[in-house]
Structure formats: structure tokens, C-alpha cells
Chain A
Amino acid sequence: MYTSLSSAIAAAEQQNKPLSLIALEAESRDQGRAIAEIREVLHRALVVMRGAVEQGLVGDLKSASGLVGGDAAKVRVSTNGPFSGTPFASVLSRALAVQEVNAAMGVIVAAPTAGGAGVLPAVLTGLAAAKGLDDERLVDALATAGLIGAVVAERASLSGAEGGCQAETGAAAGMAAGAATEMLGGTPRQVGHAVALAQQGTLGLVCDPLGGLVELPCVVRNATGAAIAMAAIEMALAGVEFAIPADEVIDTMGEIGKSMDLRYRETAGGGLAATPTGRRLARERLVQIKKSGP
């Protein structure tokens, strides 16, 4: 698998192929699996993603703590906002939907992680629905997203405990931005810029879950992550080029993550988790570990 986006983009340009195919060919070589079989697995993931979007949009789920649930439905039906009824609002509601399902211990696809699982399905299914794109295009997009995520995993991190939320909703935003840019006709080079534009907007993002639960701010942070991805896609397809290459932005994310104080890295010891309200909600709602003797 590629360990830099620049080498994947170079291969795509040299061979005149989209990044999705470059990704599938690398995976096929690495794992000894036929491309058709890999696409089949990705398609199954897509089905689960769609299921989570639909389940969450219904809006009747509550998380174990009761702190989250119902916001996806609110955004879906609202006519009050400046983007109500547009693909942008649809993407926001989809991101909230998947995360509300996740918080209720429903079944989702970690892409790349469960904490950031709302971003990619929201951006891809939301834009595909708006543009009338079929499943084959979505499967291609998932392959591209996988390639981007693999590079982030290799160069930086995909866990909040190591990289803060930069590594979860941040990485997901980079994946979504790059994959959707290609899905909507962008060149490999534009995909690189989309990833950089999204990732730069999430540098420094901490992991500060209230009470340690994957609920707040996680649910809404997937929506804001999706919004950053949408901004990156719009700019990249317009021809905006970010001065720092995506690989260097990803490396920076990793370096910032390593230097982050432990309290901002999924220990619920800092950030919003440590606010007076955050602490009060944690005390009121936290689940206790059940102990059973041998």
C-alpha cells in the first residue's frame, strides 16, 4: 500500500488512472485478493453505512447516557437555516445520524474510526444523492478514501489516544474531501489538495469526550468535520491549491498529536470534558464498570 499520497498521485498520473483504481490495484497486490472481491467487501460496508444513515435520520435513538439523540432529525426537517433543503444541510444531518447510531451502540462502519464514522458516509452518500451517482461510483470513492486513510495511518495516527481528534474526525475529513473530489470529477492532483485543505482545518483538534463517552462533542464534531470536508471539496474543484503538500500536512498532524498533552488525547481529562458543565454531566450520567469476582 502507498505510504505517501504524492507517490500514489504520481502513479495515477503516470498510468492515467483514477486514484480509486490505483488504490484497488495496490490492495490486490498486497493482500492477494481479486479487485472484484475487494469491491464486494467495500460494497457491503457501503450498505452498512447507508443503513446507519437511515436509522439515525429517523431520530428516535438515545445513547446509553441519554445525552445525545434526535439532532440529525432536527436538521433534516428544519427550514430555518440558510442551507436548509440543500446538499450541505443533508450532509450535516447524515453525519449526525451515523454518530447518533454509534453512540447508541448500533452497528456502523469505522471509517477510519468509530469516533469519526459519520464524516465519510455523510459526505459521500449526501453528494452522491444530490448528483444522482450510482453505487459503483461510491465504491470507487470508498477505495480512494481507504488509500488516503492508509497513508494517514502510516505517517501519523488514527487514534484519538495518540493524535487527538485530528486523527479521527480530522483524518475522516481528509478522506471524505479527497474521495468526494475524485467522485465529482476531480483530478488526482486536486484530490491531494482537497486532502491538504481539509486536514489543515483540523490541526490541533483535541479529543475531549465528556465522561469519556463517544457522545459529546463527538456527535456534533462529525458534523463540523463534514462541513470542513465540504469546504475543501468546493475549493479543490475550483482549482484552489494549498501550498503545503498533503503528506506534509499529515506529518504535521502526527507531530502535533505527539506533542499534545495527555489530557487532550482521549482521557477525558481536558478540553470540554473538563468544563464545569462537562464534569457535572459526566458525574450524572457515567456508566460504572460492573465487577464480578472469580
Chain B
Amino acid sequence: MVSLLDIIGPVMVGPSSSHTAGACRLGLLARNLVGGTPERALVELHGSFARTGEGHGTDKAIAGGLMGFRPDDDRIRTALDIAEREGLAYRFEKEKLGEENEVHPNTVRITVERSDRSHVMLGSSLGAGRVIVSEIDGFPVEVHGNHHTIVLVAEDVKGSIARIAGILADDGINIATLRVTRKHKGGDAFMVIEVDDPPGEDVRDHIRALEWVRWTHRLDKVSS
């Protein structure tokens, strides 16, 4: 569902809503996967993102997002210099990430590393600043960043959804949407839960404490 504020907005550093603001938002989402500014980031750009992203500051915008800058942050202009100071080692490459008719022209694969954690995200910039994360660590998802989102990978056990929903309900957190996918029956299940309120540390601790949860992340809202 499109919001008026998706159209009249974002307030952003130019020049391109898909290649600068949208790119920044994808960087912000990737940052969440390692819980902060990554130490290393590999950014593989596909299609239009690769071809015209250079002149649009896509590299600066993604680097900025990885460091926590929002689309209207002036620091985006000098993000690559700041990245060197902050210890973020980045590499940008052009890579074909799929066939023309299968993959959005503004698609990027971001691999982020911090300490011993490494995660990879596939996302696209849809235009006008809107984004979608379509894959995390090989699991298909649909995260737009319009809500605070909890993602988790768990063993496919009975009652798991009810347990997770219960933890959120106990904390007074309202669920907006919930999606469960799994690679095969009995294999890992992947949950994407969009919530109305930012989940606190204790919620994440409760989820992490469940023995059948393998990992869990919080992806903060990136829209205004």
C-alpha cells in the first residue's frame, strides 16, 4: 500500500531518489544485520544501479546508510572519507544478479561482516525512495522498512509461531504483519514480523533465548 508520504518525500540529499535515497535506506537495513556499522562490506550492484549509480553517489549513500546516516544527512556527500575514518572497509563491484525480466534494475547484494558475524542481503530500490529487501541469508523475505521488523531463523518446530507471538504480546507489542517461509518441511523456518512499536532489548533477549531460534535480528524502520 502506497502512502502519501512515500510520494511527497523523502526529504533527501540528492541527486537520485532511487540511486541515492533508496540506496541509503538499503544500507541502513543491511547495517541492522550486524547490529551496527560493519567492519567490512561487499556491495554488488546490478543493472541500472551499477551503470548510473556512480554519478548518483550510490556508493556514498550505501556507505552512509551502513554507518547509520539517514537519506537527509549532509554527511552522505563525504561518506566514503568518513568510512575510512570509521574503520568501514568497503568494496563496490558491478555484478549481474539475475536476468533482466526477473530482477529489478536497481538491485544490490550487500554482504556485511562484523567480528565473527557475516550476513548477506539482497534488496532493490523501487523508485521514489521506496525499497524492498527480498532475501536475507538466502531466505526469501519482503521487508519494505516501513515498520520496525523482526526477522528470525528457527528450527521448524510446532507451536513456534504461537510462542513468538506470545512474547511480543507480553511486551505489549502489536504485530502488523507476520510471514513465515521455510526452505523445506522440517528445515529452517524464517519469520518476518512487522510491528508497530520498536521492540526493546528484553524482547530480543527472550526470542534469542528460545533454544530453537538460530538467529534473530531487528531491522529498524527506515521510512520517515
Please list the residues of chain A having a beta carbon within 8 angstroms of any beta carbon in chain B.
Answer: 1, 23-24, 27, 30-31, 38, 41-42, 44-45, 48, 63-65, 101-115, 117, 142-143, 145-147, 149-150, 153-154, 157-162, 167, 175, 209, 211-215, 262, 265-269, 286-294
Q: How many CB-defined contacts (below 8 Å) exist between A and B?
A: 197
* B206 CB–A CB distance under 8 Å: no
Asked whether, in the complex, the Cβ of B11 is within 8 Å of the Cβ of A105, the reply is no
**Given A105-B14, A159-B127, A161-B48: A110 in contact with B9 (beta carbons within 8 A):** yes
For residue B145, CB closer than 8 A to chain A, the reply is no
Answer whether residue B30 sits at the interface, using C-beta atoms and an 8 A cutoff. no
Q: Which of A23, A115, A287, A293 contacts B17 (CB 8 A)?
A: A115
The CA-CA distance from A230 to B84 in the complex, in Å, is 48
Q: Is the CB of A161 within 8 A of B4?
A: no
Cα separation A7 to B8 with both chains bound (whole Å):
21
A30 to B105, CA, bound (A): 29
Q: List 26 A-B contacts (CB under 8 A).
A: A23-B4, A27-B5, A30-B1, A30-B3, A105-B57, A107-B72, A110-B9, A110-B129, A112-B8, A112-B128, A114-B16, A115-B16, A145-B7, A158-B7, A159-B125, A159-B128, A162-B104, A162-B105, A167-B127, A209-B52, A212-B51, A212-B53, A212-B55, A265-B105, A291-B91, A292-B80
Most chain B CB within a 10 A radius of its CB, from A23, A213, A289: A289
Across the interface, do B51 and A269 meet the contact criterion of CB distance under 8 Å? yes
B→A interface (CB under 8 Å): 1-18, 20-21, 40, 42, 47-48, 51-57, 59, 72, 74, 76-77, 80, 83-84, 89-92, 100, 104-106, 125-130, 224
Task: Report the Cα distance A288→B92, complex, angstroms.
Answer: 11
Interface residue SS majority, chain B:
mixed
Contacts of A214 in B (CB 8 A): 14-16, 55-56
Question: A214 to B56, alpha carbons, bound, how many Å?
Answer: 7
Q: Is the CB of A146 within 8 A of B8?
A: yes
Whether B7 and A262, one on each chain, are in contact in the complex, defined by CB atoms closer than 8 angstroms, is no
Complex CA distance for A268 and B218, rounded to whole angstroms: 37
Pairwise interchain contact B7-A146, C-beta atoms closer than 8 A? yes
Chain A residues with CB under 8 A of B53: 212
Q: Given known contacts A114-B15, A288-B54, A290-B59, is B4 in contact with A27 (CB within 8 Å)?
A: yes
- The interface residues of chain A lying within 8 Å CB-to-CB of B2 are 1, 150, 153-154
Do B9 and A111 touch across chains, with their CB atoms under 8 A apart?
yes
**Given known contacts A30-B1, A145-B8, A150-B2, A104 and B14 CB-to-CB distance under 8 angstroms:** yes
Q: Please report the C-alpha to C-alpha distance between residue A293 and residue B92 in the assembled complex, in whole angstroms.
A: 9
> Judging by beta carbons under 8 Å apart, are B15 and A102 in contact?
yes
- Option from B84, B105, B126 in Cβ contact (under 8 Å) with A292: B84
B47 near A161 (CB under 8 angstroms)?
yes
Give Cα A143 to B106, complex, Å. 28
Residues of B within 8 A of A212 (CB): 51-56
Quick one: which of B21, B76, B80, B92 contacts A110, CB cutoff 8 A? B21
